[in-house]
């Protein structure tokens, strides 16, 4: 592997790792917020389906 390829590979893996860490942190915060509110949490797919129905009605 060339030095340039190695640098690109290291940068990509570092960036991806940071993105995954940030996503995991946000998911954990969202779960904590949902639990703390003591309300039902709807799946994203259901939300999207209802949003599409609303757009069709408008």
The per-residue pLDDT for range 40-51, each reduced to its tens digit, is: 777 788 888 999
* Residues 4, 10: Cα–Cα separation, whole Å: 10
Q: Has residue 3 got a pLDDT over 80?
A: no
Torsion sign across C-alpha atoms 28, 19, 44, 51? positive
The tens digit of pLDDT for each residue in 10-38 reads: 777 776 777 767 777 887 887 777 677 77
Neighbours of 46 (CB within 10 A): 9
* Residues 25, 19: Cα–Cα separation, whole Å: 10
Quote the pTM value: 0.38
pLDDT value for 26: 80
What's the domain range around 34?
3-57
pLDDT value for 13: 73
Q: What is the DSSP letter of 39?
A: S
Q: Count of domains in the chain?
A: 1
In Å, how far from its chain's centre is CA 4? 31
């Amino acid at each position: 592997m060339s030095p340039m390829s190695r640098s690109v590979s290291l940068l990509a893996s570092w960036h991806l790792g940071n993105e995954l860490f940030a996503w995991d942190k946000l998911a954990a915060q969202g779960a904590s917020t949902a639990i703390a509110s003591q309300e039902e949490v709807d799946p994203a797919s259901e939300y999207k389906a209802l949003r599409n129905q609303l757009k069709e009605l408008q």
